[in-house]
Structure 1
Amino acid sequence: MAAQFPVVRILICGAAGGIDVAAHLPTEVAPRAVAVVAHPHPLFGGTMDNKVVTTIARTMFDAGAAVFRFNFRGVGKTEGAHDEGRGETDDMLTVISHARASVGNDSLPLWLAGFSFGGAVALAASEQVVVDQLVLVAPAFQRIAQWANVHNGGNPPASTLLIHGENDETVPLSDSLEWARSRDMAVTVVPAADHFFHMRLHIIKQLVANQLRRGV
């Protein structure tokens, strides 16, 4: 029988109004990390219930983290309008602050993750807080209009895991390769995977789990 994945839905205050958050808190042991996971582009159907997002969240929960997913502006119960990544980064930082306060331990490691648009936002957020693990899945930092022109992303944490599908039809693999090349970092390519990793989610789970074990 599968282990439990408890969830509590809450609404927290953000700069543009309420932020719709799903919190997954360990019930039997104290968390060993705090994790926040960001979803794909809100104008193209992205929500915190996306399967890649929930796969990452569940994997981080199983690794012992208190995990927080959230909806970007204009999605679900989150208020406000899409802001090309700027306001969304602020909202992720707000969720991080809330997550730390919720577990009552500021010294816990921070794990951030994001898929597609959420990967770009997670990267931006990682430049403003100390991050112990950063997971970027098909990050769309080269594809965000206007924001990409002024935010190209600095050097990510050494513990960054960058995953991309070989056959990504939405965010080309070449984007991640080009971005990683200039930063002398690795890209993990999932053979035959499309943007949403259909029939390949188990590989995402395995890669993330292995990364977190190495970070213990």
Structure 2
Amino acid sequence: MNSAVIQKFFIDGPSGKLETILGEPGSTPQGIAIIAHPHPLHGGTMENKVVHTLFNTLLELQFITVKFNFRGVGQSEGAFDHGNGEIDDVIAVTQTIRSQFSNHVTDVPLLLAGFSFGGAIQLHVAEKLNPEFLILVAPSVVNLNAPAVPETTQCALIIQGDNDNIVLPDAVLAWAAPTSQPIVFIPGAEHFFHGKLAILKHVILRAFARKA
């Protein structure tokens, strides 16, 4: 983490500039990770603590790691588009970052990560971009009618708090049941994982340690 390089810039999105923060690891990248934040109309931004935890954890895992503000959030241009335009935002950011690193980073895996609204958005994006990895924290699968994890995804880590009263555990279980998608439950965690962010990070690190 100490040798990582962090930079802020703007990406040309479908409805204007998208405020973006990129972290480059200090060693050979293990992939490209794109993180989507919670619902824009409920205070969701890329500065959310869960998003911040995802960003730092994936950078520690040596991913080229990106978080950004959806259209109409922070300094990003445009206006909220009920999920449709936000899917296009993720695709635009992903394509730009892949292009930016294409000369010296080739054929690295794509990881899509998201929290709440952002998690459901990433499931829709996954249908289009076929990422190797997914990390979804309390994905709002009901409100956005999220599809299942694509069969082409090598590893999907779904993390849910059992005390979540915003994204209900039963709703996530109902979404997961048809495909027997495993879910990691963190006991005592509510929607924003107050007091549980270190455990959230540990769950992700442990999953990738097993993969390695």
Give yes or no for TM over 0.5. yes
**SS class of match (2:5):** coil
Percent identity over the alignment is 38
Paired positions, count: 208
Residue 209 of structure 2: aligned partner? 213
Residue 91 of structure 2: aligned partner? 93
What residue identity is the alignment partner of 1:186?
P
Unpaired segments ≥5 residues, structure 2: none
Distance in 2 separating the partners of 1:93 and 1:8: 20
Distance in 1 separating the partners of 2:57 and 2:85: 27
Residue 10 of structure 2: aligned partner? 11
What residue identity is the alignment partner of 2:67?
R
Deviations for 1:68-101, whole angstroms, at most 9, x for unmatched residues? Answer: 0010111011111111111101110111111112
Distance in 1 separating the partners of 2:96 and 2:182: 32
Residue 135 of structure 1: aligned partner? 135
What residue identity is the alignment partner of 1:122?
Q
Give the stretch that moved more between structures: 193-202 or 98-107: 98-107
What residue identity is the alignment partner of 2:123?
L
Residue 64 of structure 2: aligned partner? 66
Residue 116 of structure 1: aligned partner? 116
Unpaired segments ≥5 residues, structure 1: none
Distance in 1 separating the partners of 2:149 and 2:114: 16
What residue identity is the alignment partner of 1:177?
L
**SS class of match (1:7):** strand
TM-score (norm 1): 0.91
Aligned-residue Cα RMSD (Å) equals: 1.5
**SS class of match (2:172):** helix
Distance in 2 separating the partners of 1:33 and 1:158: 13
Deviation at 1:60, TM superposition (A): 0.7
**Is the Cα–Cα contact under 8 Å of residues 159 and 183 in structure 2 kept in the other structure?**
yes
TM-score (norm 2): 0.93
Residue 192 of structure 2: aligned partner? 196
Distance in 2 separating the partners of 1:3 and 1:50: 22
